[in-house]
Amino acid sequence: MATGNINVSVENIFPLIKKFLYSDHEIFLRELISNATDATLKLNHLVRIGEAKLDIGQPKIEVKIDKDNQTLHIIDEGVGMTKDEVEKYINQVAFSGAEEFLEKYKDSDSKDTGIIGHFGLGFYSAFMVAGKVEIHTKSWKDEPAAHWTCEGTTQFTLEEGHKQDRGTEIILHINEDEKEFLEDHKINELLVKYNKFMPVPIKFGTKEKELPKAKDAKEDEAPKKVTVDNIINNPNPAWTKQPADLEQDDYKKFYRELYPMQFEEPLFHIHLNVDYPFNLTGILYFPKLTNDLSIQKDKIQLYQNQVFVTDNVEGIVPEFLTMLKGVIDSPDIPLNVSRSYLQADGAVKKISSYITRKVADKLKSLFNDNREDFEKKWNDIKIVIEYGMLSEDKFFEKAQKFALYPTTDNTYFTFEELKSEISETQTDKDDKLVVLYASNKDEQHSYIKSANAKGYKVLLLDSPIVSHLIQKLEQDNEQKVSFVRVDSDHIDNLIKKETEQISKLSDEEKETVKTNFESVVPKEKYTVQLEALDSEAAPVLITQPEFMRRMKEMQQTGGGGMFGMGNMPEMYNLVVNSNSPLVSKILKAKDDAKKETLIKQSLDLALLSQNLLKGEELTNFVERSFKMIK
């Protein structure tokens, strides 16, 4: 038996490993199974090239719990190690360069500082949960087995072992305060989380399987059962295959495998497959999306060689696509030692650009191949596309070919089609195209109806980021287009008309009406304006200046705090229709109390139509209405 010191001069190596490696101890199992997988794949390769002339069958990895001895076992049937290889790979190579690293980071508290990956210390993560670790290993070469033991210090023992079968068994003597890792449900949870798609079968216990009934079996005869290995992973997930080898049902089946609790089918998928200038495979799914941006993220899983890394893919996947679901796998994504945090790198930017381009190309082909189907899916995917147009200039350019702008009567236009459609009827006195839109079809119904009656098209733009998007569209079109919400800055003033309405009131009467309204409504909230509208139009309209309302909306969704505005006040225009019979009635009313009641009632009706009448004002309106009926 040989004893010795692990080749590192820093005595407190193990406390530092525990401090620096991971914020979460559970990662040890991922690292040990990754090592076992590497050992198995190495053996497969040696057999394939003819160097190892062995019949290896279908090698697997086994995880076992021994509660009596408080141990956890990870067993592989891979290349194994000789005694010399244990000395080299476990005691020396694992710590090459570690001393410099430890010196550099000894005063750091940063949780994303670490060693694994750079210095081969994946194996040593075992000491985060185990006070003692053993290795029983036998090489595929015809050499004696080896047995290595270490109790969490730099000292070890290495002796000839008794293992008969090829491969390696790691035995972890679990610490008292880490006993959760001796529970079946916990280990099963970790295996499913990190190793669900590892390329080598992983056995964890056994299960019963029903055999098909024999043809001559009686109807009431119970089916026979056999005990089989419980394999917890799928070694050949869909993303590792070529798109040509997969059917639509295969993609749907894999989606359910990824998200077993997700009952809705995805709308469509995008298969990523590139090997130059970087390696990347994956499948992204467009699920049905809501307008809530906050709850959608962290649904894409990042793998490295089929080992789960994280579901926080910020930096690799462009932010607007983090609302999608699916898998990305790349050995070229640079991770730090714990594989938990992405490192900034030029390759990452290239990968992000590739994914953006691939998604844009897929959307364009879906639009070109079946526009009708694309229009049906628009409301379920628009939030991703609009967000992408805002955040990625290259995506914005490509999206011009497939981004849709629906009207309130469910007609869909691309932006170029829309401009062509409304150029004759919706151009202002400065020859600027005026695009009318509604953000809520129900709340703005009366304004939409009025605009449609005049022959205007009204878009329905109801996503939470619409204010930011229309700002970008206006800038991109070099001030030749302006977006105006249908209830903003009364639209009749914005669009050229062949015939203007003439007011039935004299200038003096108009001034009197204005004074009457200003004496009743709060000046700090409303600006009273008289407009000559159709006599059948509403007597009073509430509008909000487009600029003020848009800045307020942008402020609420982020980005509107420019110009040092702080919290912007609620300001409205009170547009009084000087041609309305009710306005004439208010003008002629002799009784001041009656005049005030009519003004308040007409104002409250206008507020009610905008869903702006609430609280005490709504109560007063209801009481006043009953009195007027009486």
Q: Concatenated DSSP letters for 438-460?
A: ES-TTTTHHHHHHHHHTT--EEE
Q: Give the tens place of pLDDT for each residue, 148-166.
A: 999 877 788 999 999 999 9
According to the per-residue pLDDT averaged within each range, which of 286-295, 365-374, 457-466 is highest?
A: 365-374
Which DSSP category does 112 fall into? T
**435 pLDDT band (50/70/90 cuts)?**
very high
Residues 547-574, mean pLDDT to the nearest whole number: 64
Say how far apart CA 237 and CA 255 lie, in whole Å. Answer: 11
Q: In what order do the strands lie in the sheet with 526-531?
A: 526-531, 572-577, 540-543
pLDDT at residue number 628:
79
Count CB-CB contacts under 10 A for residue 397. 12
pLDDT at 143: 93
Tokens representing 585?
């009635």
Sorted by where each begins, the domain ranges of the chain are 2-205, 238-373, 404-500, 503-544+567-630
Give residue-wise pLDDT tens across range 8-62: 544 445 655 555 554 578 888 988 998 898 888 888 888 888 888 888 888 999 9
CA distances from 143 to 140, 164, 320 (A): 8, 11, 56
Rounded CA separation 155/161 (Å): 18
Please answer whether residues 311 and 340 qualify as being in contact, where contact means their C-beta atoms are separated by less than 8 angstroms: no
Q: Is the alpha carbon torsion for 35, 36, 38, 39 positive or negative?
A: positive
CA distance 624 to 613: 14
- Average pLDDT for residues 508-519, to the nearest whole number? 87
pLDDT of residue 291: 59
Rounded to whole angstroms, the Cα distance separating 39 from 31 reads 12
Pick the CATH number of 404-500 from 3.40.50.11260, 3.30.230.10, 3.10.450.50, 3.40.462.40: 3.40.50.11260
pLDDT, greater one: 19 or 308: 308
Q: Is the dihedral of CA 464, 466, 472, 475 positive or negative?
A: negative
In CATH, 2-205 is 3.30.565.10: yes
Q: Which two tokens stand for residue 205?
A: 């216990």
pLDDT in tens, 100-110: 444 544 554 43
Mean pLDDT value of segment 449-468: 87
Q: Which amino acid is at 181?
A: F
CA gap 384, 422 in Å, rounded: 27
Judge whether residue 123 has pLDDT over 60: yes
User: What long-range pairs does 391-396 form, CB within 8 A, spacing at least 24?
Assistant: 391/318, 391/319, 391/320, 392/318, 392/320, 392/356, 394/353, 394/356, 394/357, 394/360, 395/318, 395/320, 395/356, 395/359, 395/360, 396/472, 396/476
List residues bridging with 207 in a β-sheet: 228
**How do 130-138 and 167-174 pair as beta strands?**
antiparallel
Average predicted confidence (pLDDT) for the chain: 82
Average pLDDT in the 352-367 region?
92
Asked if the domains 2-205 and 238-373 are classified in one and the same CATH topology, the answer is no
pLDDT-based confidence at 497, cuts 50/70/90? low
3-class DSSP state of 618: helix
The fold for domain 238-373 equals Ribosomal Protein S5; domain 2 (3.30.230)
For the segment 68-94, the average pLDDT, to the nearest whole number, is 86
Region of residue 133 (left: phi > 0; alpha: psi -120 to 50; beta: else):
beta
Share of the chain above pLDDT 70, in %: 83
CATH code linked to domain 503-544+567-630: 1.20.120.790
